[in-house]
Copies of this chain bind each other. A is one copy, B any other.
């Protein structure tokens, strides 16, 4: 292995000078050139490990992803990478495979100084534990949050979005609207559920909890819960699924049962993942600004890692209702909410 000492010898200077050249510090043009030549000739690459040990910075951020095979998260990752590149940071992906015991990852890596910060796209960890970590280390949560969250996070307003898309179904004349919810332990999904309830209440539609089922994020689960609902109450005319993956499973179940979508039963989802627009029929859903969510999350983390003051603990970004065919309203008139806000807790 070829080190900074080798370069120094070859260039006839000290290692300190080589280091200076490497970091664009003040060096005489002449000596700088000599060093550059030596570097090129020897094909020298600084040892990142040694640099990191010395500077106590790794310029690396770990992203905790619940499930990388869920395409919803990939676009968020792109956004994170976009922003990370701006500041020359590396991204490390930790895939949880949807298992909830993720504490290990947080602790191991950051306590061993392998990384400078964490972006978590998951919030299954206990609230107090998360807050404890957040006090000691830079961490930002994206697309997930907990009640009265004091951990820096960026998200959309799930209640408002769920209300909006449910109202859309109501405005199309539906009153028997089922909901296939996500994990009730996640505030994210509780919010979507609450948005659904709020929309019904607002329009004086009686709330019937027998129309609510709880699924997990898989096509199979959406299929199963829809079958259950159909079996139990054939009068259902619309379904709001808490995620697109669940929604497409529900569509499959409906079609298999001889129901036409949207004529016999409308279906709407949440997230706008890629297959949503390619499904048959194309899915009406809520689009989250995924790339921007990722970018915002990283920029927030960057401030945290470099002791810049945070304007707000929580950033709330805009969402968009994507009207496609699965809801029966085949018109190219998408609705946008324009309420990017920053809820200020003043850290």
Instruction: Tell me the A residues contacting B by CB distance below 8 Å.
Output: 1, 45-50, 52-53, 58, 68-69, 71, 74-75, 77-78, 81, 92-93, 95, 97, 108, 111-114, 219, 223, 248-249, 252, 255, 274-275, 278, 280
Q: Name the distance in Å between A60's Cβ and chain B's nearest Cβ.
A: 9
Q: Tell me the bound Cα distance from A274 to B219 in angstroms.
A: 9
Cβ–Cβ contact B45 & A49, under 8 A: no
Bound form: Cα–Cα A309–B30 in Å: 49
Chain B residues, CB < 8 A from A45 = 108, 111-112
- Give chain B residues whose Cβ lies under 8 Å from the Cβ of A46: 112
Measured CA separation A95–B113 after assembly (Å): 23
Q: Give complex CA distance A46, B46 in Å.
A: 23
Q: A278-B248, A278-B249, A280-B280 are in contact. Are A113 and B48 (CB under 8 A)?
A: yes
Across the interface, A113 reaches (CB within 8 A) one of B1, B112, B223, namely B1
* Chain A interface, >50% SS class: helix
A275: which B residues are within 8 A, CB to CB?
219, 275
A95 with B77: CB separation less than 8 A? yes
Q: Which among A1, A68, A219 has the highest number of chain B CB atoms within 10 Å?
A: A68
Q: How far is the CB of A87 from chain B (nearest CB, A)?
A: 17
Least CB separation from A108: chain B residue: B45
Partner of A93, one of B53, B71, B93, B114: B93
